[in-house]
Amino acid sequence: MSVIEKSKPEIIFPCDSRRITSDYGPRTSGDKFHDGVDFGAIKQGVSGDPVYSVSKMKIVSQYFSKTYGNLIIADSLESNLSYVYGHLSEVFVVVGTIINADKTIGLMGNTGKSTGPHLHFEVRDRHYSSSFWNSHDGEFYSSQDPMDYIVEKAAPDCTMCRELLISYMKNIDGELLKLDDIHTNLAHIMTDFESFIKTLK
Ligand SMILES: [Zn+2]
């Protein structure tokens, strides 16, 4: 790994879904470049998945756009990256808010030019900020492939939590489950936990 790759900032996923419905890059149909990556809702067609801060960041803009719908733009406070979150159904932050990574800043939705609940997430490099919205118009574009920066959160430090999580990720034969099934299992944890607490009362 080169020095440049090593120094590249890392961010977490902006939502729980790992279902990418449209990649970053040239669209296969139409002529428009896709400046971000689209994550489909956990439950297809259902808005309301939480959307997260991907690093420590400051909200620099928040408005409704005909294209992006309810939109949040934030500057990383750890690197030269900026983030764009589009099509939100709810927004829980205001301009000026400084927030740590992994906090809920809004809810996934279907506002603006969108054909179903999803998160449109962009990573932009402020080295090219003079052309923030004018991407791929010549060589000075600011948008980057978000998947070049996104990494999975590290497993919890606590051995007990880590083993518990891993147990919910595998089926009875020890094979890894699909993400949808893991989510179902995690929902069961809460239900089981709540009923267990009741037995203690
Ligand atoms: Zn998109």
Is residue 171 domain-shared with residue 99, that is, in the same domain?
Answer: no
159 φ, ψ to 5°? -60, -40
Question: What distance in angstroms lies between residue 33's CA and the mean position of ligand 1's atoms?
Answer: 10
Is residue 135 domain-shared with residue 169, that is, in the same domain?
Answer: no
For residue 132, what pLDDT is reported? 57
Average pLDDT over residues 120-138: 68
Question: What distance in angstroms lies between residue 32's CA and the mean position of ligand 1's atoms?
Answer: 11
3-class secondary-structure state, position 102: coil
pLDDT at 137 over 70: no
Is residue 70 domain-shared with residue 137, that is, in the same domain?
Answer: yes
For residue 51, what pLDDT is reported? 97
Q: At 123, list the tokens.
A: 């990573």
Q: What's the full length of the chain, in residues?
A: 201
For residue 9, what pLDDT is reported? 92
Is residue 174 domain-shared with residue 93, that is, in the same domain?
Answer: no
Indicate whether 153 belongs to any domain. no
pLDDT at 134 over 80: no
**Could you tell me the CATH number of the domain that includes residue 65?**
2.70.70.10
* pTM for the full predicted model: 0.73
Question: What distance in angstroms lies between residue 141's CA and the mean position of ligand 1's atoms?
Answer: 17
User: Which range of residues forms the domain containing residue 24?
Assistant: 8-148
Q: What is the pLDDT of residues 165-179, one digit of tens each?
A: 777 778 778 787 887
Residue type, 18: R
Question: What distance in angstroms lies between residue 97's CA and the mean position of ligand 1's atoms?
Answer: 24
As a whole number, the mean pLDDT across the chain is 85
Question: What distance in angstroms lies between residue 110's CA and the mean position of ligand 1's atoms?
Answer: 11
Question: What distance in angstroms lies between residue 158's CA and the mean position of ligand 1's atoms?
Answer: 36
Separation of alpha carbons 151 and 8, rounded Å: 12
Question: What distance in angstroms lies between residue 123's CA and the mean position of ligand 1's atoms?
Answer: 12
Indicate whether 2 belongs to any domain. no
Q: What is the pLDDT of residues 13-48, one digit of tens each?
A: 999 999 999 999 887 776 678 889 999 999 999 999
Question: What distance in angstroms lies between residue 188's CA and the mean position of ligand 1's atoms?
Answer: 32
Count of the separate structural domains present in the chain: 2
For residue 140, what pLDDT is reported? 43
pLDDT at 2 over 60: no
Last residue of a domain, one of 148, 170, 188: 148
Is residue 46 domain-shared with residue 75, that is, in the same domain?
Answer: yes
